[in-house]
Amino acid sequence: MKTRIDSYVLVLFMMASGMEKAHALLQSCSTDSLVGSLGLGVFCLVADKLLQFPIIQQNNWLRALSDNAIHGVIGMWSWAVVIGIKKKTNFGEVILAGFLASVIDVDHFFLARSLSLEVRNIYG
C-alpha cells in the first residue's frame, strides 16, 4: 500500500512540475515577453550602428565605455524579459545581470596583462 501511495505522490509531483513548466513556457510567449524581445533586438541593431560612428571609433576609451554600457543594458533588458519584472525584488536581479554583462570583457585585460586599450598580440 505504501508503495502505491509513494508512486501516486511521485506522479502528482511530476504532473505539478510539468504544469509549472507549461505555465513558464506560456508566460515566456506572452505579449510582454514578445514585445520586450522585439525591443531588445531593435536596441541591439541601433546600438551596433551607433558604435560605428567615427567619433566613437576614434577614441579608444569612449569606444570601450560605450561598448561596456551597451553590454550592461543588453544584460538588464534580457534578464527583464526572461523573468518578467513583477516585483521590486526582481529589479535587483536585473541590476545584477547588467553588472555581470558589463564586466564580461574584463578577461581581455587579464589576458593582455594591461589596462591599455591598444591592440596587442596576446599569443606571441
How much is the pLDDT for 7?
54
3-state secondary structure of 59: coil
Grid cell for residue 27? 508566460
How much is the pLDDT for 110?
66
- CA-nearest of 120, 101, 103, 98 to 111 is 120
Phi and psi dihedrals of 116, rounded to 5?
Answer: -70, 145
How much is the pLDDT for 103?
84
How much is the pLDDT for 32?
80
* Spatial distance between the Cα atoms of 116 and 122, rounded to a whole number of angstroms: 13
Question: Can you give the pTM of this predicted structure?
Answer: 0.66
Domain boundary assignment for the chain: 31-112
- Which stretches of the chain drop beneath a pLDDT of 70? 1-29, 89, 107-124
